[in-house]
Each structure stands twice: as C-alpha cells, then as structure tokens.
C-alpha cells in the first residue's frame, strides 16, 4: 500500500498507519502451502494421483483510507485562486475556471522538492459535511505550513478568513496550530487602492 495509508480493522477498530516507505507490519498471518502430487512421485509412480492440502491463513476485514503526504497545503474559500497559484508555481496542471468548486479533488504540485496540496474550497458548514472540502481536510493534517488564499474580490476579507479558521477548528483544532501564511489573491482584478484596503483590514 502507498505511504499515507491508514488501515483500520472493521471489527477490533485497531489502526495501522504507514508513515514511511520502509515501514513494515503484519496484518494477517499467511497460511501454509500443501504438497502437490509432484512431491509424491517415485520411480514406480511418476504421476501420482495424490496431493496434500495446505492450511488457510488468517482473515480480517480491513478498511484502507489514504492521506496524501504533502509538505504544504493551500486552503481557502471556493474560487479563491488556489489552483491558479498552484499551476503558476509548480508543475501541476489542475482544472481552472472562474466559478466555485472547479476543484473537485485534491491537486498536488512540486516546488523545489516540496509537495503542495491544493484541496477543494471550504464553505461554511464544511466541518459538518457541507460542500467538498470536509472530505479532503485529512490531507492537510500533517503539513508543516498552510497557505491561506484570500481573494481580493471578497467584500469582507476578514469574515472570509475567520470562516475558514472556524471550519478548521470544528474539524480538528490541531489544524489551527499549523503555521500559516495569508496570500491575497486576484489582486490583478482590483485597483491598488482596493488591494491596500484589503491588506489594511487583514492586518
């Protein structure tokens, strides 16, 4: 299984997490093979019609979930310009459009050996299952740095910022402890005066 896989036993709820490519653990003990008729051949009987059955191994019902292993994460409201930024600075080629929820799945890009995860935009109530973001918040639980993308098009940028912070807290308060850099996006669509006003409000 790939690094980042979380394996849960459906009955005992025991959890195994693969955090390193060299990590090994035994989930099920394999069975023991039997003996085919070749093992019982002799000079008098070169094709014996006898074979010995083996023994079955262990069986478990397992659920495998995958967390992407990324160094940095892009977060923000829908249509905040996260995917455009990812495409601009990395080798990623995400779908880009001027409408909410263009990003339906996490996108990954590489910048100077670091992996950046762009997750779908979060809306109010995401931590309770609304929208798409809640499904993918797990992918940023282990990043070392978050880039919070805020669009200059927001009439109340501070409200939009706090909305995302509230959703992170509701999902997992530990996400609030991850260092964060605020990126003001789509500045090319606003006047210099409007951009400065947004910066002043956020400060």
Q: Check whether residue 125 and residue 185 sit in a common domain.
A: yes
Query: What's the CATH code of the domain at 94?
Result: 3.40.50.300
Q: In terms of residue numbers, what domain contains 164?
A: 72-202
Q: Check whether residue 43 and residue 78 sit in a common domain.
A: no
Q: Check whether residue 129 and residue 52 sit in a common domain.
A: no
Reported as a pLDDT band with limits 50, 70 and 90, residue 175 is very high
Q: Check whether residue 77 and residue 142 sit in a common domain.
A: yes
CB neighbour list of residue 126: distance below 8 Å, 6 or more residues apart? 133, 134, 137, 167, 171
Domains in the chain, number: 2
Characterize 75-103 residue by residue with b for buried, 16 or more Cβ atoms within 10 angstroms of its Cβ, and e for exposed: bbbbbbbbbbbbbeebebebeeeeeeebb
Q: Check whether residue 196 and residue 122 sit in a common domain.
A: yes
Q: Check whether residue 162 and residue 147 sit in a common domain.
A: yes
Reported as a pLDDT band with limits 50, 70 and 90, residue 99 is very low
Q: Check whether residue 146 and residue 185 sit in a common domain.
A: yes
pTM above 0.75, yes or no: no
Q: Check whether residue 84 and residue 12 sit in a common domain.
A: no
């Amino acid at each position: 299984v790939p690094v980042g896989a979380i394996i849960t036993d459906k009955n005992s709820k025991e959890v195994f997490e693969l955090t390193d490519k060299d990590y090994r653990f035994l989930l099920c003990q394999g069975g023991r093979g039997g003996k085919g008729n070749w093992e019982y051949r002799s000079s008098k009987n070169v094709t014996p019609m006898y074979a010995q059955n083996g023994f079955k191994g262990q069986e478990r019902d397992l659920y495998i979930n995958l967390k992407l292993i990324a160094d940095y994460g892009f977060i923000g409201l829908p249509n905040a310009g996260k995917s455009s930024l990812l495409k601009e600075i990395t080798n990623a080629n995400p779908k880009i459009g001027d409408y909410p929820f263009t990003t339906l799945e996490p996108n990954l890009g590489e910048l100077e050996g670091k992996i950046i995860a762009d997750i779908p935009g979060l809306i109010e109530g995401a931590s309770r299952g609304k929208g798409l973001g809640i499904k993918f918040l797990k992918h940023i639980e282990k990043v070392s740095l978050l880039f919070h993308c805020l669009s200059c098009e927001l009439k109340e940028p501070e409200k939009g910022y706090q909305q995302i912070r509230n959703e992170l807290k509701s999902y997992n308060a530990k996400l609030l402890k991850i260092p964060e850099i605020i990126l003001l996006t789509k500045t090319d669509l606003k006047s210099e005066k409007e951009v400065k006003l947004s910066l002043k409000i956020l400060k």
